[in-house]
A and B are shown apart, each in its own frame.
Chain A
């Protein structure tokens, strides 16, 4: 069965530093897709970045990047030069190739301090 686990409940860092959020997943499929979303204080869920399992290169979008370690079933999110507005809850999610539904982790609350 599919499962996504985020063990970090909350993280607090100082503005302009780099933060890494962990995520591990379980799947029997050889092809799958991994996503990171953030949920703002207003409740809005925003797509950030994705990694397709067959791609070896780590995805990068703006100041978000991924650390994809396929043998470890791990997909970490790295945010560089953090800003106050990065404060949010971050969700890791996966989708098997032949399924439509996303399976979400429990979320990690990120607080950025000035």
Chain B
């Protein structure tokens, strides 16, 4: 069974450019999560969707960051006007459901974003 797929695995952008990161959750999983990992902040929650609907974006920076889930098979995280401080590994995770035994989150390999 395929795990969570993230593309690209590595992305280098210039300051001020836009970056779009893609995530394909495990087939049948109804919840999709985005996290960011840096040396300084560690693993931080950004946002999540349940059945394609946005549920919690409390971790998303207020400006320049947006996430969508247009269908059940993929989600995107878009960063406009990228800044050097956006450099991080962006991780996508998915789970079967929220609550109960089915809610373990499984992570993708991440996208390493470097903003020069």
Contacts and interface: CB of A to CB of B under 8 A. Distances in A.
Interface residues of B, number: 26
A25 interface: no
A44 interface: yes
B105 interface: yes
A26 to B, nearest CB: 16
A42 B89 CA distance: 12
B50 interface: yes
Interface string B23-36: 00000000101010
A30 interface: no
Interface in B90-116: 91, 93, 98-99, 103-107, 109-110, 112
Contact of B33 (A37, A47, A101): A101
Given A43-B109, A107-B42, A99 B103 contact: no
Contacts of A62: none
User: DSSP majority for the B interface?
Assistant: strand
Interface in A34-92: 35, 37, 42-47, 50, 91
B103 A101 contact: no
B110 A43 contact: yes
A2 to B, nearest CB: 10
Interface of B: 31, 33, 35, 42-45, 48, 50, 55-56, 58-59, 89, 91, 93, 98-99, 103-107, 109-110, 112
Given A45-B91, A99-B56, A100-B50, 17 more contacts: A35-B105, A43-B110, A43-B112, A44-B107, A44-B109, A45-B110, A47-B106, A100-B31, A100-B33, A100-B48, A100-B55, A102-B43, A102-B93, A102-B105, A103-B45, A104-B42, A107-B42
